[in-house]
Amino acid sequence: MPKSKKSSNPINLNDPQYYLNRELSWLQFNKRVLNEAFDSRTPLLERLKFLAIFSSNLDEFFMVRIAALQQQVEAKVSQLTPDGRTPQQQLDDIRLSLIPQVTQQHQHFEQEIRPLLGRHGIHIVDYINLTSKQRKYLDNYFEDQIFPVLTPLAVDPSHPFPYISNLSLNLAVVVKNPDTEEEFFARVKVPSVLPRFLPLPSELAFQEDGQAANWIGVPLEQAIAHNLDSLFPGMNIQEYHPFRITRDADLALEEDEADDLLLAIEQELRKRRIGGSPVRIEIQSQTPATIRTRLLEDLDLAEEDVYEVDGLLGLRDLMSFMSLPLPELKDPPRQSVVPPRLQRLREPSLNPEDGLEVEEGKDFFSIIREKDLLVHHPYQSFSASVVRFITHAAHDPNVLAIKMTLYRTSGDSPIVNALIAAAENGKQVSVLVELKARFDEENNIYWARRLERVGVHVVYGLVGLKTHCKTVLVVRREKDRMRRYVHIGTGNYNPKTARLYTDLGLFTCREELGADITDLFNFLTGYSRQKSYREVLVAPVNMRDRFLELICREITNVQNGFSGRIVAKMNSLVDPQIIATLYEASRAGVQIDLIIRGICCLRPGVKDISENIRVISIIGRFLEHSRIYYFHNNAQEEIYIGSADWMRRNLDRRVEVITPIKDADIAKDLQEILGILLADNRQTWDLQPDGSYIQRRPGEDCPETSSQITLMNMALRPTGIATNLLDAAKSSAYTDS
């Protein structure tokens, strides 16, 4: 690595004080998600959505990250993290950071959101506050619809404590025999097959002033709790208290230990449905000590595994309110546009006999031959670009082969249906399905079996590596030659998440890139030991080394008297070697802007270490998921997009693909996108040296600028104004709040 300008002042860049903890950084990310629920500028039902996302994120965090740390503690793992913490220290610090967040979430829901909902005619009513007519309706509904589903489970010497399933909401019930005065403990599971919030019929949905309400309903657990007499006839109900369990849900599987990977993962999924060891219990703060102690003993949990809340448990279920037909309480509707160059595509199944003038449209392949094409989702339509590309390939008689990686896709995937059609049309179809995509394993197994049944060559990946890259290769016969068409993306081939995640995709038929992706698929499906590629960066082969070279080149340019500039957008920055090299670049004088939605273990703004590094996080309507890497390269800019973050897992334990952008116009478009993101003062948070984040606010004379709204408007008006990348970070006037 080149020496920095400050090499005379030696500093150990591996010192733990220069690194933020991964888990605590993730909690900061989820706190930013929660803030969207607190922000009065966010539409009301969207605020409910963010409360639900915060809870759902936490569930996964406990199922995976907390479970792993607890296992490390039990195994007496002593290895320190780059920031110098033991597993137990991390657990302690996580709890210390998390308890105030959970408290704030529930207080905000109960004290602010519920009253606001009421003012808009949406009432989540406690059972005890129902009118007599409403109670009668709900009690009848209980007898008809809920009671048959319930199974009360006694706990006594002849009935051991029942298994409590993962993420289940339950009632701990104490009943008394009126004849013997003896008390018994029982558990009633709140069934997840029923709606969490039970709506009242319109004729009973009225407000206190007699006006009709938009929605009135009761939490399911309260309807059950107030009808416990039906479950325990002849017994006196003494008390009941809701509780919720989270269990370890990560798959414990090594590919080289499995003779049949698909079968092995199916077996692991069955274990997950049951769940691993409990890692958290949520209870209401008024739960008596006797019930609390009983639950902890029977579940083998410690006091530090308890999370108390005031109010309803399991706020992830608030997501159901997004289905209410109240557009005025949601984000304004948006329109995904068809990219201009794709607006006159003809469908592959149509021909002149069908009444279509063929010369009026072009096929997808001729458009790519003209020029590389960049698409930006969700601002530009995924269905009209990526899905259409694969569908065209499936039906084009000149297409001979389609090869594709599938990490995550939707349950009703039009892409998989197109691949099935391609196989049925006699094309050679090869699909690498990543069975270990966390929490999508079952869905991927289903599609893998369907694909295999129609003759698709299905591969399940490489031993020890997850296949996370997003690539499609189409081989087409054109006159007397074969031409390869490629799509490389930053996001999954999932039409549903493509409406919610910001992602990029490149379509090209450049020969060098086609040859690289051909080599990549040979590496994935065969015994190829490919070690070099013409253009693409492939993890774990050459990506880490190339990124380090690109950073070091900026250092060299600065040392030679030129300017140095790096702008990188990703989901997470964790890798210590990359971070240390960025510190070296900062110390040399390279100007660095990092746009990192989630985890960032780099400390920006530290004297003599990272004074030239700025880190922002954008949290908004869409989940920022695209990865873009810009290097100034002495005014010969290089820019890359692809599937990899700067994390150890992406660089060393996954198959990832990053592609250089060769088309000058596309490179300018990407720089414009980066500039717009850097200038955001509505949904941007600035990372501080201590690991906290401060949200930007527009200054007095500066208008509010949302990058996502700007990009939506630009998609509708493709000739929008350009933003200068290098000036954007300097000119974004804002005040901290």
Q: Report, as residue numbers or ranges, the catalytic residues.
A: 468
Alpha-carbon gap, residue 470 to 490, rounded angstroms: 7
Query: Tokens in use for 433?
Result: 């399905």
- CA distances 318 to 37, 49, 138, 171, 330, Å, are 12, 7, 20, 19, 14
Q: Would you list the DSSP string of 634-657?
A: TTS-EEEEES--BSHHHHHSEEEE
- CA distances 590 to 7, 15, 558, 563, 690, Å, are 15, 21, 7, 7, 22
Beta bridge pairs of residue 600: 573
- CA distances 480 to 63, 178, 476, 477, 483, Å, are 55, 91, 11, 7, 10
Query: What are φ and ψ of residue 320, in 5° steps?
Result: -60, -25
On whether the CB atoms of residues 367 and 395 are closer than 8 A, the answer is: no
On whether the CB atoms of residues 220 and 194 are closer than 8 A, the answer is: yes
Asked if omega into 540 is within 30° of 0 (cis), the reply is yes
Exposed / middle / buried, residue 408 (Cβ in 10 Å: 0-12, 13-18, 19+): buried
Look up residue 260 and give its DSSP letter. Answer: S
Alpha-carbon gap, residue 628 to 596, rounded angstroms: 11
Beta bridge pairs of residue 736: 696
Alpha-carbon gap, residue 155 to 362, rounded angstroms: 70
Q: Would you list the DSSP string of 13-75?
A: TT-GGGB--HHHHHHHHHHHHHHHHH-TTS-HHHHHHHHHHHHHHHHHHIIIIIHHHHHHHHT
Exposed / middle / buried, residue 700 (Cβ in 10 Å: 0-12, 13-18, 19+): exposed
Q: Would you list the DSSP string of 557-577?
A: HHHTTS--EEEEEES-B--HH
Give the other-Cβ count within 10 Å of 652's Cβ: 14
Could you give the maximum distance between any two Cα atoms of the chain, in Å? 94
- CA distances 196 to 270, 531, 640, Å, are 25, 53, 45
Beta strands in 519-651 (DSSP E): 537-539, 565-570, 591-596, 613-618, 623-624, 628-631, 638-642
Query: Tokens in use for 224?
Result: 């059950």
Beta bridge pairs of residue 428: 401
- CA distances 474 to 198, 215, 375, 391, 484, Å, are 50, 50, 18, 11, 6
